[in-house]
Amino acid sequence: MPRPTGHVLTLLELIQSGGTRTVTELADRLGVEGRTARRYVDQLIDPDVPVESVRGRYSGYRLAPGYRLPPLMLSDDEALAVLPPAWSPTAQPPGARQG
């Protein structure tokens, strides 16, 4: 069973692939409920990934125009080990002293 961080990274890939993705589509692709997919979107928004919510007949989520994260050349385990600390609100820049 994939870990939540793995789902968040998969969600980012899906949203980066272009277009507007519905909550139903994202939830189906991740194998989770819609509410959980929305929570994963919130986890992307927290570290300032510009995910936009689109309302109306073709509602869903998309990345802000012109925004794209560079590809990560990490294995799944490496990405899971590196990203959660980087997304932490208390994360320090590399080499910073803890006080």
Domain boundaries in the chain? 4-87
CATH class, domain 4-87, is: mainly alpha
pLDDT tens-digit readout, 41-84: 999 888 888 899 999 888 899 998 888 776 666 676 776 666 65
Contacts of 27 (CB under 8 A, 6+ apart): 33, 34, 36, 37
Name the residue with higher pLDDT: 7 or 2. Answer: 7
User: Percentage of the chain with pLDDT > 90?
Assistant: 31
- Would you call 84 exposed, middle or buried from its count of C-beta atoms within 10 A (0-12, 13-18, 19+)? middle
pLDDT at 1: 46
pTM beyond cutoff 0.85? no
